Amino acid sequence: MDRSHPRAFVRGCFVTVAALLATRLSGAPAAAAPLYSLTELPRGRYTSIAPADLNDAGHVVGSARIGGFTDGFLWTPAGGLVEIPHPTDATQVVPQALNNADLVVGYRVGTNLLQKAMTWSPQDPTVRMFGLSGAVQYAPAVNDAGQVAIETYGSNSLDTKDLVRNADGTYRQLADAHDGPPFTGGGVLRGITPRGDVIGLSLFSGVEQAVVWPATGVPRRLALPAGFRTTDAWAADALGQIVGNGVTTSTAPNPNRRRALLWETDGSVLDLGTLAGDPAARADDINDLGEVVGGSGVTPGAVGSRAFVWSAADGMRDLNTLLDPSGDGWSLLEATRVNNAGQILVTGTHGGVAAAALLTPVPEPAGAAVLLPATVALFRRRR
């Protein structure tokens, strides 16, 4: 830029600002920039941890192993790792989900090996069991209304009941969503929406297909896209978009491969593709911004795969390429959860050791809104 003449200098400054404004308005980045900072989840006294869920405050829940026991944990940026110890009559406590009030749900395994649904919270730090007596139960999901999805397996598959436990302690039984021979369990439950719809999968003529159990009405199967033999629903956003996975048929162009799917509100289904060079992908979660996260590779989530974030605007991107220097030495294998603040829960390796971390969006610079006043001030100083 020519600074030898005031007019030339000012003209150059305003050209620069105009270019920056045009770049921001067009949505294209001015240059490749890191989008996320990384915070490793500490193991504390445990030999390993397995994160399970993430809420909008950036709190993480999961299980931690030491010796022959599995405890639950809640991690918060302010409080660090808080243990959810197993009761004396249990060998494992396995949290599976939490809501924005830090209500944790999951299951505990008793010394008699019976698995029971359980709750825990910082406000009520006692592990509490609930559900049907004498049945094996899991609690894989909870919403902000305190409704809990429960998978139940009885001694007789015909007596099996999948349920929603309401905040007042009452239950809603989910209608059967399968045909053919009796299926052990009404389905495999994955999530529950803010209004109480449950999503997951069930069997139809021996084939796994994604299902929605609405809060009112009958269950419905999600569309089976052409070239796929099975589907599975994992998460939904506030608009009703659902993400999950499917496995292609043996005669498909990419046969017998897992693919990440998005069911849109109009009932259509979109294959989200893979990262460059990968044959398969898996979607694990979606937030209310429409961001989808998961893993891409030969076996998504396993060694050699790559964590991704997908959006309608940017497509599928490798999270390993979007980290600031806090991610040095990390290999992100899978992104398992994304919250409405854009934070992403990931698993991978750090220095070759299995680890987990929370990715937080790096704040955008103020950009041209700051540059314009600065340019005017510089012009005044120059004159």
Distance (Å) of CA 300 to CA 188, 260, 331? 20, 10, 14
Domain boundaries in the chain? 1-33+369-383, 222-361
DSSP string, 304-364: T-EEEEEETTTEEEEGGGSB-GGGTTEEEEEEEEE-TT--EEEEEEETTEEEEEEEEEPPP
Question: How does residue 77 score in pLDDT terms, banded at 50, 70 and 90?
Answer: very high
Other beta carbons within 10 angstroms of residue 359's beta carbon come to 28
Q: Among 34-48, 56-70, 82-96, 140-154, whose mean pLDDT is lowest?
A: 82-96
pLDDT band at 366 (very low <50, low <70, confident <90, very high): low
Tens digits of per-residue pLDDT, 300-359?
988 899 999 999 999 999 999 999 999 999 999 999 999 999 999 999 999 999 999 999
Percent of the chain with pLDDT over 70: 81
* CA 267/CA 303 separation, integer angstroms: 34
Residues 56 and 340 sit within 8 Å (Cβ to Cβ): yes
Q: Which of 18-22, 36-40, 135-139, 291-295 has the lowest average pLDDT?
A: 18-22
Which residues pair with residue 24 across a beta bridge?
none
What share of the chain has pLDDT > 90, as a percent?
66
Grade residue 36 by pLDDT with cuts at 50, 70 and 90.
Answer: very high
pLDDT (mean) for 86-101: 90
More confident position, 12 or 280: 280
Region 213-229: mean pLDDT is 94
Supply the DSSP string of 258-304, one letter for each residue: EEEEEE-TTS-EEE---STT-SEEEEEEE-TT--EEEEEESSTTSTT
Instruction: State the pLDDT at residue 175.
Output: 87
Residue found under tokens 């040095």: 328
Homologous superfamily of 222-361 in CATH?
TolB, C-terminal domain (2.120.10.30)
Average pLDDT for 167-189: 73
Q: Are 126 and 89 in contact (CB under 8 A)?
A: no
Nearest of 297, 243, 291 to residue 270 by alpha carbon: 243
pLDDT of residue 23: 41
Q: What is the pLDDT of residue 339?
A: 98
Residue type, 259: R
Give the model's pLDDT for residue 14.
41
* SS3 label, residue 244: strand
The pLDDT assigned to 290 comes to 96
Note if the pTM is more than 0.75. Answer: yes
Q: Are 206 and 183 in contact (CB under 8 A)?
A: no
Residue 381 zone, left/alpha/beta (φ > 0; ψ -120 to 50; rest): alpha
Contact 202, 242 (CB under 8 A): no
Q: What is the pLDDT of residue 21?
A: 40
Buried b / exposed e over 315-334, threshold 16 CB at 10 Å, is ebbebbebbeebbeebbbbb
Q: Cα(301)–Cα(348) distance, rounded to whole angstroms?
A: 9
| Segment 223-274, tens digit of pLDDT | 999 999 999 999 999 999 999 999 999 999 889 999 999 999 998 999 999 9
Q: What is the pLDDT of residue 136?
A: 83
Which has more pLDDT, 67 or 358?
358
- Over residues 354-378, the mean pLDDT reads 67
Predicted confidence (pLDDT) at residue 16 exceeds the cutoff of 90: no
Q: Which of 89-93, 131-135, 327-331 has the lowest mean pLDDT?
A: 131-135
Sheet (strand 258-263) strand order: 228-236, 242-248, 258-263, 269-271
* Matching residue, tokens 């996260």: 293
If you average pLDDT over residues 281-309, what whole number do you get? 96
Confidence of residue 154 (pLDDT cuts 50, 70, 90): low
Of 124-133, 196-205, 290-299, the one with minimum mean pLDDT is 124-133
Q: What share of the chain is helix, strand, coil (3-state, %, to 5)?
A: 10, 45, 40
b/e for 193-225, b at 16 or more Cβ within 10 A?
beebbbbbbbbbeeebbbbbbbeeeebeebebb
Tell me the average pLDDT of the chain. Answer: 85
The answer to which of 43-47, 194-198, 352-356, 374-378 has the lowest mean pLDDT is: 374-378
Q: What angle separates helix 6-26 from helix 368-382, to the nearest 10 degrees? A: 180
Q: Where is pLDDT greater, at 110 or 98?
A: 98
Q: pLDDT higher for 96 or 28?
A: 96
Return the pLDDT at 178.
Answer: 61
Best CA proximity match to 295, nearest among 245, 237, 236, 224: 245
Mean pLDDT of all residues in 58-67: 94
